[in-house]
DNA sequence: TCCTGTCATACCTGCCAGGTATCACCGCGT
DNA sequence: ACGCGGTGATACCTGGCAGGTATGACAGGA
């Protein structure tokens, strides 16, 4: 009577994202009419108008926006359930599942810490196998939510810890990375204002949740690309202290006095009850 | 292909909870054979054995336990989606939905704070209507998760904030509530050890998530009952400072030196994006 | 005014969810 | 040893609904 089926949520989210029945149907691999009908049924069952059909496109109502957000969360939870169940599948005897844990890490971030963590955890008795899943800049939240990962290393203020349990591991300052020999490298320290408006060196832009903030600087996709652009004297970047480990000879790092500190956390879905995860977190907290 | 339907999750959770196909089918209002078949299909689709069918009952495998936990979370998320969408339904124009917020509060806890919060929020411009939903001792988490409530007042260390966003509002100490005239009331302060083992006054037990820890003291269901039992000289209780407001003449409160402080939080689902909620939280943080 | 793009309607069909009847199997009493 | 009760699995059928095709209604633009 009043329970939404996953299928209906999938359909609605597709339509709400495309704002176009035809394209949504194509994306779902079905014809448009049954999709229209399914959405109508959904609206009737909920007793709520979700979409405002003006000829020439579709708009979300307030209730539609709510269902889009809540429905996405619910869909994530269901695919996470399927994935985690499959993952737990191989080992079976209730005694020793010998779980695998998938750990999501921003590529090249917190490398030292990660190495220490993996070594320390492997030395524990009964440690599970850890699969390291390298991911993009802000992808960890999504990976945890949809079950592709069980635990992640996150970095505030870039990642949001909302909805996860977490434990802070380390705090570090940030540095400006400049081309070696640039006039600013003569200074002992810099402020954010100093590097934000260098005329010849626009500040590099990282994607936040897949999109780039507008600005003059180049759009950076990975660390190597960034290193190269800095070495070529085309840009300047603000990165955590620990990034010094991958700097080149053509780079110079200058500490920033007023950049927000970067805190590395280990984070996991709040409802998690895995013993292996608990062990990993305990190990991390002791580092 | 690989997406779990809500129906399948409902079925599996029922079987996993009952550990009995017949009873689960009855609970679901269906016959047993289709249920058996549905679970088999689920196992085949996931490629995982979820249940160990020993004649004479059923047991969960490791993967089954994972799916039970994750599936419950996913089901909660879907019913929450439906409920919140319905609730957002009445008002429609994208401009002013005039939302209602449902606020879950442990009955009689933080009464003063709640009054101040409601008054302050009502005085705000554009404040939404707040429906106060009184609930049991540890029910708030469940209400938030399945969408019956949008926001709650919680009290650590009793409530867990895992999976929610929250803002701490007040901190208070705890007091021991004794029958007036009891020898211990002569003391200025007490320690937990003092009240834990009073021979004639066993410590009252509150339910935690629906179950009572074992112990000698009486099982308390509500505050009136507790007040009466203390007044009759049958038990002693440890309660937050603010509970002094409902004490009787036959009660005496003595501060405890080593009880953990009680922190009142306002908490809400981490992914919430409601403007009305944001306003309420802002008001609360300013109190 | 036609044409185009959009969503809704009408109607049909095949599949699958669910029901009934029954089986296979085990434990347990006598 | 034998039947009996209780368990989950199998076989088979059927109705409803998900999904497809064809087409309509309607708005906006040239």
Q: For the segment A96-148, what is each residue's pLDDT rounded down to a tens digit?
A: 445 789 999 987 778 889 999 999 999 999 889 999 998 887 889 999 999 99
Measured between alpha carbons, how far is A108 from B144 in angstroms, rounded to an integer?
A: 37
Q: Which two tokens stand for residue B61?
A: 């495998």
Measured between alpha carbons, how far is A124 from A118 in angstroms, rounded to an integer?
A: 10
CATH 1.10.10.10 in chain A: give the residue spans.
6-87
Output the pLDDT for position A138. 80
CA of A245 vs chain B CAs: smallest distance (Å): 35
Output the pLDDT for position B90. 64
Asked if the Cβ–Cβ distance from B273 to A162 is below 8 Å, we say no
List, for chain B, all residue ranges whose pLDDT scores fall below the cut of 50.
91-97
Output the pLDDT for position B1. 57
Q: What is the CATH number of domain B97-164+263-286?
A: 3.40.190.10
CB B254 within 8 A of CB B180: no
Output the pLDDT for position A95. 39
Asked if the Cβ–Cβ distance from B270 to A163 is below 8 Å, we say yes
Residue A167, chain B, CB below 8 Å: the answer is: no
Q: What is the CATH number of domain A6-87?
A: 1.10.10.10
Output the pLDDT for position B94. 41
CB A109 within 8 A of CB A80: no
CATH 3.40.190.10 in chain A: give the residue spans.
100-166+265-286, 174-255
CB B169 within 8 A of CB B102: no
Residue A107 contacts strand D, CB under 7 A: no
Output the pLDDT for position B96. 41
Q: Place domain A174-255 in its CATH homologous superfamily.
A: Periplasmic binding protein-like II (3.40.190.10)
Topology (CATH level 3) of domain A100-166+265-286? D-Maltodextrin-Binding Protein; domain 2 (3.40.190)
Residue A34, CA: closest nucleotide via C1'? D19
Mean pLDDT of the region A1-7: 86
Give the count of beta carbons closer than 10 Å to the beta carbon of residue B284.
21
Topology (CATH level 3) of domain B6-88? Arc Repressor Mutant, subunit A (1.10.10)
CB B62 within 8 A of CB A88: yes
Output the pLDDT for position B170. 94
Asked if the Cβ–Cβ distance from B273 to A69 is below 8 Å, we say yes
CATH 3.40.190.10 in chain B: give the residue spans.
97-164+263-286, 174-255
**Per-position DSSP letters for chain A, written without gaps between them:** -----HHHHHHHHHHHHHT-HHHHHHHHTS-HHHHHHHHHHHHHHHTS--EEE-SSSEEE-HHHHHHHHHHHHHHHHHHHHHHHHHHTTS---SS----EEEEEEETTTTHHHHHHHHHHHHHSTTPPEEEEEEE-TT-HHHHHHTTS-SEEEEEETTS--TTEEEEEEEEE-EEEEEETT-GGGGSS-B-HHHHHT-TTSPBPB-EETTEEPP-SSPBP-SHHHHHHHHHTTS-BEEEEGGGGGG--TTEEEEEBSSSPPEEEEEEEETT---HHHHHHHHHHHH-
Question: How many angstroms from the chain centroid is the CA of residue B81?
Answer: 19
């Amino acid at each position: 009577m009043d329970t939404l089926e996953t299928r209906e949520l999938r359909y609605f989210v597709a339509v709400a994202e495309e704002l176009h029945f035809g394209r949504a149907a194509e994306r779902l691999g079905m014809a448009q009419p049954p999709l229209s009908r399914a959405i109508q049924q959904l609206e009737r069952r909920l007793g709520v108008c979700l979409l405002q059909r003006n000829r020439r496109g579709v708009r979300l109502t307030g209730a539609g926006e709510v269902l889009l957000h809540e429905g996405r969360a619910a869909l994530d939870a269901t695919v996470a359930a399927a994935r985690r169940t499959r993952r737990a599948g191989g080992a079976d005897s209730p005694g020793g599942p010998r779980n695998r844990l998938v750990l999501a890490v921003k590529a090249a971030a917190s490398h030292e810490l990660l190495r220490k963590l993996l070594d320390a955890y492997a030395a524990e008795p009964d440690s599970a196998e850890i699969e390291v899943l390298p991911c993009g800049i802000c992808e960890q939240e999504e990976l945890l939510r949809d079950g592709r990962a069980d635990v992640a290393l996150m970095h505030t203020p870039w990642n949001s810890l909302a909805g996860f349990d977490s434990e802070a591991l380390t705090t570090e300052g940030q540095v400006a990375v400049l081309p070696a020999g640039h006039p600013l490298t003569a200074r002992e320290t810099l402020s954010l204002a100093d590097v934000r408006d260098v005329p010849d060196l626009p500040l590099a832009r990282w994607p936040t949740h897949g999109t780039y903030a507008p600005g003059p600087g180049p759009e950076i996709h990975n660390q190597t690309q960034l290193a190269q652009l800095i070495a070529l004297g085309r840009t300047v970047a603000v990165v955590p202290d620990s990034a010094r480990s991958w700097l080149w000879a053509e780079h110079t790092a200058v500490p920033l006095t007023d950049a927000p500190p970067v805190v590395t956390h280990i984070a996991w879905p709040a409802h998690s009850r895995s013993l292996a995860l608990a062990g990993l977190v305990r190990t991390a907290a002791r580092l």
